Amino acid sequence: MAKHRLEQISRGTKVAKGAVVTGAIAMGSIAAGQAMASPVAVPNLGNIELGALGDHINSQKHHAAPKTKTLKVTKTNGEAKSKDATKPAPPAPAQVRVPNVGTFALPGISQNQVPNEFQPKGKAAPAPERHTVADKAVLNAESKIGSPYSYGSAGPNAFDCSGLVYWSYKNAGKTIPRDSYGQMSGGKAVAYKDAKPGDVLIFNGGSHSGIYVGNGEFVHSQNYGTPVNRAKVKTWALTAVRRY
């Protein structure tokens, strides 16, 4: 009787594996039954063919493989000294959710390398960090929302329009012209339809400037009595867009 039960359990496991292998479970825009090319080691199930998802996971593992350092030994005054050859720590196993099957930890890739449709419920891939000068300028300008307007001021506590733009870029590591007319003359001309966050917007013929933050909005220091704020581009007379 015990032998018969063991065979039933073994047969059940094989059926579960076969369901995944043959594509019985649909995974959003990627089906498990697509090309059997990249088997993925799924804990408690074994090597499973996951079609396009398997291709993606294995390619990410390849790119995520940490580089090893070669141990170098040099001699100084007759004594051997070795350079640090510590290997970087591998990323924590990524959690991959296969609809109708479960969530599994897959080592070798990071969480942000997992497509959103396979992220665990309630957990999306983290947004990429902002590193460019323009992105930092946007963050700087947004950090001053609520600060008072003061003519001739360029921070850190109060700003006029061009002063906010100047301060935001200076603290992002780039020096641009201080006044709005100089800002209109510098950088590279860009059509508004091609504007990106961080581009400098010039209004009212050159007398006003702000920083574009995306989605048709910009951050600017407007006038006395109105603190630094976010506004819609279409409500202002746009003159030029400059990219620095």
178 lies in some domain: yes
74 lies in some domain: no
Whether 16 and 113 map to the same domain: the answer is yes
Q: Give residue-wise pLDDT tens across range 158-188.
A: 999 999 999 999 999 999 999 999 999 999 9
Say if residue 190's pLDDT is above 90.
yes
Among 159, 165, 192, which residue's Cα sits nearest to residue 181?
165
Task: Calculate the average pLDDT of the chain.
Answer: 76
Round to whole Å and give the CA distance between 20 and 233.
51
Whether 6 and 111 map to the same domain: the answer is yes
Whether 210 and 105 map to the same domain: the answer is no
The number of angstroms, rounded, from the C-alpha of 149 to the middle of its chain's C-alpha atoms is 33
Whether 224 and 143 map to the same domain: the answer is yes
Whether 157 and 236 map to the same domain: the answer is yes
85 lies in some domain: no
Q: Give residue-wise pLDDT tens across range 107-142.
A: 777 788 788 778 887 665 565 666 899 999 999 999
Whether 155 and 200 map to the same domain: the answer is yes
Domain that holds residue 210: 133-243
Among 79, 39, 71, which residue's Cα sits nearest to residue 55?
39
123 lies in some domain: no
Q: Give residue-wise pLDDT tens across range 23-62.
A: 433 343 333 344 444 565 655 556 655 556 666 666 665 5
pLDDT of amino acid 90: 66
Say if residue 69's pLDDT is above 60.
no
Whether 179 and 208 map to the same domain: the answer is yes
Whether 21 and 101 map to the same domain: the answer is yes
CA distances from 112 to 9, 40, 61, 93, 116 (A): 36, 18, 12, 11, 9
Whether 216 and 146 map to the same domain: the answer is yes
217 lies in some domain: yes
Whether 228 and 149 map to the same domain: the answer is yes
Radius of gyration (Cα) for the chain, nearest Å? 28
Supply angle C-alpha 38, 41, 45, rounded to 5.
Answer: 120
Whether 6 and 114 map to the same domain: the answer is yes
- pTM of this prediction? 0.51
- Is the CB of residue 150 less than 8 Å from the CB of residue 160? yes
Whether 112 and 184 map to the same domain: the answer is no
The number of angstroms, rounded, from the C-alpha of 131 to the middle of its chain's C-alpha atoms is 10
Q: Could you say which DSSP state residue 196 is in? A: -
The total domain count for the chain is 2
Active site residues per annotation: 161, 208, 220
98 lies in some domain: yes
Round to whole Å and give the CA distance between 20 and 49.
7
228 lies in some domain: yes
pLDDT of amino acid 91: 65
- Is the CB of residue 152 less than 8 Å from the CB of residue 128? no
| CATH code, 194 | 3.90.1720.10
21 lies in some domain: yes
